[in-house]
Amino acid sequence: DVKVTQSSRYLVKRTGEKVFLECVQDMDHENMFWYRQDPGLGLRLIYFSYDVKMKEKGDIPEGYSVSREKKERFSLILESASTNQTSMYLCATRTSGTEQFFGPGTRLTVL
């Protein structure tokens, strides 16, 4: 079974803080993704990575950056958190097929 883990299930941060969300997968998948999920909007892609040190912007990259130094780990960084970044963040991985495998999510609250 594919296992995708996220460093925190719940996180509370203050406006202006730098926030790191970590995602780790154990299946040697090349592709990793970060989504945010908001009620009524479904899932929206923030960034994805198709290889170590490679990244591509998704649909809503503003206010976010990512890092992929090792194949199994993909980090989402909020340089200066704002209240409109309060959301559920989901990490996913994909290998050569199209199916994506999701982690349990991190619910981030920015006060």
Partner 1 sequence: AQSVTQPDIHITVSEGASLELRCNYSYGATPYLFWYVQSPGQGLQLLLKYFSGDTLVQGIKGFEAEFKRSQSSFNLRKPSVHWSDAAEYFCAVSTGANNLFFGTGTRLTVIP
Which stretches of the chain bind partner 1, using CB under 8 A? 4, 9, 31, 33, 40-45, 48, 50, 56, 90, 92, 94, 98-105, 107
Per the CB < 8 A criterion, the answer to whether 73 and 28 are in contact is no
Q: Kindly state the smallest distance separating residue 16's Cβ from partner 1, in Å.
A: 28
Q: How far is the CB of 65 from partner 1 (least distance, A)?
A: 18
Q: How far is the CB of 97 from partner 1 (least distance, A)?
A: 9
- Spatial separation of the C-alpha atoms in residues 22 and 92, rounded to whole Å: 12
Q: How far is CA 27 from CA 10, 18, 71, in A?
A: 25, 29, 10
